[in-house]
Each structure stands twice: as C-alpha cells, then as structure tokens.
Amino acid sequence: MSSGLFTAVACALRRDLTLAARKPADVATPLVFFAIVVSLFPLGVSPEPAILRGLGPGVLWVAALLATLLSLNRLFSADYADGSLELLVLSPQPLAVLAAAKTLAHWLTTGLPLILLSPVLAVQLYLPEAAYGTLLLALLLGTPVLSLIGAVGAALTLGLRGGGVLLSLLVLPLYTPILIFGAGAVTAAASGFSPEAHLSLLGAFLVVALAFVPWATAAALRISLD
Amino acid sequence: MFDFLHKYASPRNFYDFAGILIPWLAGVTVVLLAIGLYQGLFLAPPDYQQGQSVRIMFIHVPAAWMSMFVYMVLAGAGAVGLIWHLKLAEMTAAAAAPIGASFTFLALVTGSLWGKPMWGTWWAWDARLTSELILLFLYLGFMALQAAIDDPKRAARAGALLALIGVVNIPVIHFSVQWWNTLHQPASVSSIAKIGAPAIHPSLLWPLLIMAIAFTVFFAVVLLMRLRAEILHRERYTHWVAERIKS
C-alpha cells in the first residue's frame, strides 16, 4: 500500500509539473509580476540607495507574498473546472498527501523560481552583499509555508465569485508572521546582526505547517467539492 | 443533559427560548451599563497623568477583550458545527462574526481616540494595535467568505475551517508582532498604564469589570437577536415559522 501511495504522490507531482512545463507562461507571469512590483518601489519612493537599502528586505518579501498569492489560483482551479480534482478526492490514497504533492508542485513552479530571481532584484535595491545568503535561506524556508497556507485558501475559495480578491483577504492576514520573520532575517543580516533567531522561527513555521496544513487543505477540498 | 441539549439545540425550541431570554438579558445589560458608565465617567478619579481621557479605558478595554472572546466563541461554535453538524452552532458562528468585527473596530477607534491625546498620534505600530488590526482582517475575511458562498451548509463548514485556522494563528501572529516590535523599536508606547500594569486602583478596576460583564451580556443579547433572525431566515419555508409569523 505504501508503494501505491508513493506512486500516487509521484504521479500527482509529475502531472502538475508536466502541466506547468506545457504552459510556461503561467509559471512566468508571477515572476514578471514579482520583478515589476519590486521595480515600482524605486519609482514610487525614491531612487536613493540609502533609502532603498532600508526598504529592500521588506519590499522583496511583500512582492514575493503578492506573487505567490497571484499564482495560488492555478493550484486547484483548472483541476476543479475539468473535474480531475473530484477524481483526486475519490482516489483511495489519503487526500492530504495528494494535496501536499500538489502544493509541492506549486512551490517548485512558483516559490523556487522566485528564490532564484530574488538576488537579481536585491541588486536593484542595493541589498548589502552580506545579506544575500540570508535572503535566499529565508525565502527557502518561508515560501513553502506561503504555498502551504495559500493552498488552504485556494481550496476554500474554489469556484466562488470574486475568488481572487477573496483569497487574498483570507490568506494575507495569515501570512503576516512569515513576512515579519522573513524580512526581519534579511534586515538583521543587512545590518550586521545574526539572523539565526528569525531563520529558526521560519524553520519552525515550516515544520509545523508541513505537519498540519495538508490536512486542513484536504478538509477544505472536501468542503468545497461536497 | 442530552435531553436538554436535544430540546434547545433544535432551532424551533431555541427560537422560543431565546425570545424569553432576550428581555431579561437586555435589562441586565442596561443596568450594568448604567452602573459601569456612572462609576467610570463620574466616580472614578481622573488619572494624575492622563487626566479625564483615561475614561476611554472603560469602553476601550472591554471592547478589546470582547474582540478576542467573540473570536473564540466563533471558532468554538464553528468547531462544534463542523464535528457534530449542529445547525445551531453553525448559525452561531455566522451570527457572531459581525458582532466581533464591530467590537474589534470599536477597540481600534477608541484606542485611536485615546492615542491622540496620550501618545500624540492616531496610530502607532505597537504590537497590540497591530495584532488587533490583523484580528479585524481575520473577521472580515471570515465574513467575506460566508458572503461569497450561497449554499449555507458549505458556507458554515468553510467558515468554521477558516476560523479554526485563524484561532491557531492568532497566538502566532500575536507573538510575531510582539517580537517584531521589540526587535525594531523600544516598547515605549505599550508601557502606558494598561490593564497589564501592576496594581490598578480599585476605583478604576470595579467599573472596568462591570463594563466588561455588561459588554459580555450585551454580546449575548445581540447574538440571540441575530440568531433568531437567522433561524427565521433559514427555516422560512417551514410550518412553524409560518405559525409564529401569523400569531
């Protein structure tokens, strides 16, 4: 049975990754959005390096949050529209594990590219060199939590009117701790302090979210498909 | 015990029961509010530092307490509805949300009015203010989700799940905000005498406690009234509602 579970997870993951690979524009849009939002801040606030250096960590994190949020719709809505989500719910494998696999696929196609793109944008914001490692590490720990929490919101708002805006209303308040410690870690590293406390908390969030949130996502999917 | 629950958990019996309860509780609310406000606004001494504006506390602090208490009621009712499929619990969660949001809003507004003369600013990114603001957003998210779903069954279950996630998150958000604040700036504003400060004088404490109880009973009254309306709405095609409306 456990081999069956493993196969199911691998299939779900491969299917979502293949779908993403066939429609590269869907993957690229949140990334372009990420880059544009970051570029708006120098235009709107000030191109002064000193100011941008202070704003940088927060701007990068807020933009990453919003980009993740934009991509959440993609997580279940296409499967919901063509009915394959119902088959996933009906499958004999535990739904929480399958939801976790889909969330992982979402992170691989959204969170990971965001992380890879972030150093380039950090250059634009004059982030001190010492903070780059911390930025990558904090995003590496934080973005999976964004995908996990976002998955619950996406599952709850499946097929609802005004789903996108509603989703942001549900999910953004829950994102605040990640934003605080993610941006905090980078700020600490940029000002020469140890980001260890922030990173430890981000890691703790990730572990707790990994353990519990897939079950909440599964429950939300069941409620929405009932 | 279960007979009792069975009897009053049915919407029809609860409707009548609440109808009897409301006038009594409303009377208690009025009396307690009168005593609390009189003590708070006239008998309590002005603060040696804050002067008369310390009296905002008698509205502000109970409202802030209620904002958190109501979220617990909402999540508790949501959980009961989710687990035992109790219609009444589902309705309670839906009926409590706007009241809780109002208390949260009241706490924020009175806090802002209190902050202007005391701290010289309408708003500060203090830990408590920020977590109260996020609590308001959680309420609004809950209400928006309820409003977006037409099927009451799905609305109740989705709302309950969201409320439970919110309850788990509230302590996390609260401590995050607290640590964020202490990491960034010295906690200069939060040390102003709030209830957490040691030794609040009895002449201030009593009206505060009376006001807190008055707010709680007031919440119960409004909740029961909203529940009655909700019951009528959901059962509007049943026989007994037609009878009640006619008589």
Asked if B157 lies within 8 A of A223 by C-beta distance, the reply is yes
Is A219 in the B-facing interface, judged by CB distances under 8 Å?
Answer: yes
- % of chain B surpassing 70 pLDDT: 87
One-letter amino acid for residue A161 of the chain: R
Residue B187 reports pLDDT greater than 80: no
Residue B186 reports pLDDT greater than 50: no
Q: Looking at the domain assignment, is residue B137 inside a domain?
A: yes
Q: What is the pLDDT of residue B202?
A: 72
Q: Looking at the domain assignment, is residue B2 inside a domain?
A: no
Q: Looking at the domain assignment, is residue B11 inside a domain?
A: no
Cα Rg, chain A, nearest whole Å: 18
Cα Rg, chain B, nearest whole Å: 20
Residue window 174-193, chain A: list those with CB within 8 Å of chain B.
174, 176-177, 180-181, 184, 188
Q: Looking at the domain assignment, is residue B3 inside a domain?
A: no
Q: What is the pLDDT of residue B160?
A: 93
Q: What is the pLDDT of residue B102?
A: 96
Per-residue tokens: B237: 């095609």
Nearest CB to A161; choose among B148, B157, B165: B148
CA-closest candidate to residue B8, choices B25, B21, B24: B21
pLDDT tens per residue, range A181-218: 999 999 999 888 888 889 999 999 999 999 999 999 99
Q: What is the pLDDT of residue B73?
A: 94
Asked if residues B122 and B189 have their Cβ atoms less than 8 Å apart, the reply is: no
Instruction: Report the CATH number at residue B204.
Output: 1.20.120
Average pLDDT, chain A: 91
Asked if A157 lies within 8 A of B145 by C-beta distance, the reply is yes
Q: Which of A23-55 are b and which e, b meaning 16 or more Cβ less than 10 Å from the residue's Cβ?
A: eeebbeebbebbbebbeebbeeeeeeeeebbbb
A57: which residues sit within 8 A by CB, 6+ positions away?
Answer: A127, A131, A135, A183, A184, A186, A187, A190
Residue A26 reports pLDDT greater than 90: no
B134: which residues sit within 8 A by CB, 6+ positions away?
Answer: A173, A176, B173, B177
Q: Looking at the domain assignment, is residue B184 inside a domain?
A: yes
pLDDT tens per residue, range A28-81: 999 999 999 999 999 998 888 888 888 889 999 999 999 999 999 889 988 998
Q: Looking at the domain assignment, is residue B17 inside a domain?
A: no
**What is the number of structural domains in chain B?**
1
Domain of residue B65, residue span: 26-246
Overall average pLDDT of the B123-145 stretch = 87
Q: What is the pLDDT of residue B10?
A: 82
pLDDT band at B188 (very low <50, low <70, confident <90, very high): very low
Q: What is the pLDDT of residue A210?
A: 94
Residue B16 reports pLDDT greater than 70: yes
Q: Looking at the domain assignment, is residue B162 inside a domain?
A: yes
Could you report the predicted ipTM of this complex, rounded to two decimals?
Answer: 0.88
Residue B128 reports pLDDT greater than 60: yes
Cα separation, B63 vs B128, in Å, equals: 13
Q: What is the pLDDT of residue B121?
A: 79
Residue A178 reports pLDDT greater than 90: yes
pLDDT band at B57 (very low <50, low <70, confident <90, very high): confident
Is A224 in the B-facing interface, judged by CB distances under 8 Å?
Answer: yes
In a mutational test of the A interface, the residue from B161, B164, B167, B182 whose CB has the highest number of chain A CBs within 10 Å is: B161
Asked if B165 lies within 8 A of A174 by C-beta distance, the reply is yes
Residue B198 reports pLDDT greater than 70: no
Cα separation, B92 vs B11, in Å, equals: 11
Q: What is the pLDDT of residue B12?
A: 84
Overall average pLDDT of the B97-108 stretch = 95
Q: What is the pLDDT of residue B2?
A: 63
Overall average pLDDT of the B71-100 stretch = 91
Q: Which of A22-26, A99-103, B179-183 has the lowest mean pLDDT?
A: B179-183
CA-closest candidate to residue A6, choices A75, A99, A97, A105: A97
Residue B227 reports pLDDT greater than 80: yes
Overall average pLDDT of the A165-176 stretch = 91
Closest CA of chain B from A161, distance in Å: 6
Per-residue tokens: B57: 């506390």
- H/E stretch holding A17 reads helix A2-22
pLDDT tens per residue, range A104-126: 999 999 999 999 999 999 999 99
